[in-house]
Amino acid sequence: MTQIISIHSFRGGTGKSNLTANLSVAVAQQGKRVGIVDTDIQSPGIHVIFGLDEDKFTFSLNDYLWGKCTVEETAYEVGGNLVDGEGNPANIAGNIYLVPSSIKAGEIARILRQGFDVGLLNDGFHELIDTLELDFLFIDTHPGLNEETLLSIAISDAALIVLRPDRQDFMGTAVTLEVARKLNVPNLMLLLNKASPSFERRSLEQQVTERYGAPMAGLFYENDEMLQLASSGIFGLHYRDHPFTQEVQQVAQQLLQMQS
Ligand SMILES: Nc1ncnc2c1ncn2[C@@H]1O[C@H](COP(=O)(O)OP(=O)(O)OP(=O)(O)O)[C@@H](O)[C@H]1O
Ligand SMILES: [Mg+2]
């Protein structure tokens, strides 16, 4: 059974795209066929982390939503080109197919102005799963709640909600969580990112659990290496033994267990 995993946060910049990219790679390293759709139409970006240049993609998610192409034509295999910190091939056992959103100002403006058929987006997800025979479909989202985030929450086997230890994030996360609970998502996973290294895991875990009545599925500390990499690659391939990478592997294991 294909697992649909959507990644959300109420506020922006929590680390969704980097976590999506790293989790996708960790799962693909186990030989899985993985799809990623960038539904952040307003401010796309995950293609940058995978090194997929704008001029290298002919079609984007926008073109599919405008009926210009099939959804398969918007999917680019990015797993084969990934490299480690030394520039050596990463040799990922599985496959990663990325559907980017357009980065052209005019195309972003058009979709925001005209809107699009959310039903078509849903059809596109399922068509990708079937034609590419995916084991996992990851959906990277725009922060906050909108039509496409609601759709992706509703159809997910797991919703990963990313938050920072910040009061504004705490409030907003409660809203996202409430929606996800109403939509009966089978697995709700809270990922705490950018935690100050001065906070202990146990106390952060206790705070999250008490506040949300849901377990903290992953804890990621703010770190300099991530700031230095600055979304120019897959962190887990550049820093294989880093605590951030180990935590990505731990969350990926939870996702892999859902599939088996
Ligand atoms: N644990 C971390 N430590 C340090 N920097 C981090 C960490 N996690 C993410 N970042 C940095 O935070 C920035 C935002 O990350 P990212 O783009 O993944 O967030 P996002 O939630 O997808 O943002 P948006 O809401 O704009 O889509 C990036 O520069 C990234 O390198
Ligand atoms: Mg993002």
Q: Using CA atoms, how far apart are residues 214 and 171, in angstroms rounded to an integer? A: 15
The pTM of the full predicted model, rounded to 2 decimals, is 0.98
DSSP 26-37: HHHTTT-EEEEE
Q: How far is the CA of 45 from the centre of ligand 2 (A)?
A: 6
Q: Hey, what are 5's tokens?
A: 């995993």
Q: What is the pLDDT, as a whole number, of residue 29?
A: 98
What is the Å distance from ligand 2's center to 200 Cα? 27
Q: Per-residue confidence of the chain (260 residues) as pLDDT tens digits?
A: 999 999 999 999 999 999 999 999 999 999 999 999 999 999 999 999 999 998 888 999 999 999 999 999 999 999 999 999 999 999 999 999 999 999 999 999 999 999 999 999 999 999 999 999 999 999 999 999 988 999 999 999 999 999 999 989 988 999 999 999 999 999 999 999 999 999 999 999 999 999 999 889 999 999 999 999 999 999 999 999 999 999 999 999 999 999 88
* Pocket lined around ligand 1, Cβ cut-off 6 Å: 9, 12-18, 40, 43, 45, 143, 193-194, 220, 222-223, 226-227, 230-231
For residue 259, what pLDDT is reported?
87
Instruction: Look at residue 260 in the predicted model and tell me its pLDDT.
Output: 81
CATH class of 3-259: alpha beta
Helix (H) or strand (E) holding 8: strand 3-8
